[in-house]
Structure 1
């Protein structure tokens, strides 16, 4: 899917999925598992990717579909394979079909990650957060050709390829987003110069020959732990993967990780990450400015809500360097 520029088509996560009929989903599963009792339930979470809980002979799995007609999730499936090859605990691809006759898009069945999301766990999560940070650093070392959404798999080695061939083409969307935020009055006028300077500093970072794989939506809901002990179980949901700068996911985590645990949760992730790869905190803050700016543009096109306020506050803190 190309052409996700600010001035044209909204990015993947800003639109609800184009749904398919339940009858079509059941028909697909009947072909995959003939003669087997299958229960299907549409999941309410995960706005951008249609997800169904599928119970096959008491085994819980999850069916993940493309978001829109014609979409093929080759890259998401390949990302699972590459990450699992590193020994990182992520769901296994149980079944995958690029063009199932019952549907107008791809379908992938994944195993269930044991445990619960970390944002539902009340105990000490230090060890789990650090392990998640170590795993994230290893994921962020996987090379991607190009920048932006990772939609295709290319070549005999089945490497991941993104929509933009150059970093400058990718960052142009964020530069445009900054101007939309400024024109929309979302930030105080006193921060407009800092906004332009911050986005420009991020855009001027070196263009690497290959980008790095970013989870793209890394937060506490995608880290799984044991419900009683809090032991780390693994990571889920690679539906927002992209080719990005090496520390893109840490920039996203800076804004989205914490909640009731506060800044210490992010610091635990960084501590684990540093055991595998160096972390430039200034570069992470620049990533966060870019990510928050792009996300805020999406929110400005919607009714005001809590997430818009969160993004605005973060941008004000980042641009004031009040962290």
Structure 2
């Protein structure tokens, strides 16, 4: 078996200049530095021209092969909603003749991750803004439900009930494959099946499906206030019920910062569902099962309360008590 390709590359200025030349960008690179965070390697290219905005070079592993095209597709959709600050895709190169991996050249957004502000200031206002921005993203209607790949929606489904039945089936399959307890899986499957009426939806929308402190950018304004300046990393995007996405945002963000749930909900605003709290919990059940399998496959400590152990504790509680109401701190 061939060794995996190295993802951290030494991109020199000459290579960066050739990349810009290939895509007819009339600028000269001055500096290159790796940016923190994200699920793939990302580099910032500063340009010589004083008034030229920096660029982002994002590289991709060989698998999945559809990932670069997906991010360009989602970037094109978001470009139609200019009120949503998201990076634009200027170029996508799959030739591997300039770099040994595929890459995208993207516009840069100002600011730094919410994560870098959490210990220094009150970020409640940032979470409210992130919730409001997520609602704006959910104004982008989609033609059907399903996971998004480079050619559009994979296995498009007409109803959210069908979509969630398929999603739960996949989540529990991965749970079992990762060594999850069979009795717990059966109890949770029964709980999900008994509550599928909660998946009635007003229609599919574009969902980020990975909104957390590492994918929201913030910058400080001249008056000292923090302002969300961008959303990044749309590699998980799907067409789904908006509450599915809101539940994922609360689940991921609250794991890192328990303060996040309430202001995210406040920023998002009124929930158009007859039993929104129970629906959020049903979707949280899916996210917990999926995340346990994901972390377990990564080899995380199965007893860690901030990882698989904590998720199993929460899943056992759901199996015992059912869908409790969401009670953000």
Q: C-alpha offsets along residues 270-299 of structure 1, whole Å, 9 cap, x if unaligned?
A: 112125x53611111111111111221222
Report the alpha carbon displacement of residue 218 of structure 1 after superposing the two structures with TM.
Answer: 0.8
Change (3 A) 1:118 1:105: same
Aligned residue for 2:147, secondary structure, equals strand
CA distance in 1, matches of 2:136, 2:27: 41
Residue aligning to 2:214 = 221
Residue aligning to 2:85 = 90
Structure 1, unpaired ranges of 5+? 1-15, 154-160
CA distance in 2, matches of 1:145, 1:46: 29
CA distance in 1, matches of 2:311, 2:219: 31
2:154 is equivalent to residue 163 of structure 1: yes
User: Of the candidates 46, 69, 74, which is equivalent to residue 55 of structure 1?
Assistant: 46
Residue aligning to 1:158 = none
CA distance in 2, matches of 1:119, 1:318: 29
CA distance in 1, matches of 2:13, 2:144: 33
For structure 1, which segment, 215-224 or 226-235, has the greater mean C-alpha deviation from structure 2 after superposition?
226-235
2:40 is equivalent to residue 45 of structure 1: no
Q: C-alpha offsets along residues 36-85 of structure 1, whole Å, 9 cap, x if unaligned?
A: 234334445323x3322322227543212344264363442343343343
Residue aligning to 1:13 = none
Residue aligning to 2:171 = 177
Residue aligning to 1:30 = 18
How many residues in Structure 1 have an aligned counterpart in Structure 2?
297
Q: Is the contact between residue 41 and residue 58 of structure 2 (CA under 8 Å) also seen in structure 1?
A: yes
User: Of the candidates 295, 299, 324, which is equivalent to residue 303 of structure 1?
Assistant: 299
TM-score by length of 1: 0.74
Report the alpha carbon displacement of residue 17 of structure 1 after superposing the two structures with TM.
Answer: 8.3
Change (3 A) 1:302 1:185: same
2:114 is equivalent to residue 123 of structure 1: no
Change (3 A) 1:297 1:35: closer
CA distance in 2, matches of 1:71, 1:22: 24
CA distance in 2, matches of 1:256, 1:39: 34
Residue aligning to 2:261 = 266
TM-score by length of 2: 0.73
State the superposition RMSD in angstroms. 3.7
2:98 is equivalent to residue 110 of structure 1: no
Residue aligning to 2:232 = 236
Change (3 A) 1:88 1:202: farther
CA distance in 1, matches of 2:245, 2:218: 20
Report the alpha carbon displacement of residue 224 of structure 1 after superposing the two structures with TM.
Answer: 2.2
Residue aligning to 1:133 = 131
Q: Is the contact between residue 20 and residue 27 of structure 2 (CA under 8 Å) also seen in structure 1?
A: no
CA distance in 2, matches of 1:35, 1:235: 26
User: Of the candidates 226, 248, 253, which is equivalent to residue 244 of structure 2?
Assistant: 248
Q: Is the contact between residue 87 and residue 107 of structure 2 (CA under 8 Å) also seen in structure 1?
A: yes
User: Of the candidates 98, 121, 142, which is equivalent to residue 140 of structure 2?
Assistant: 142
Change (3 A) 1:29 1:94: farther
Change (3 A) 1:182 1:118: same
Change (3 A) 1:138 1:91: closer
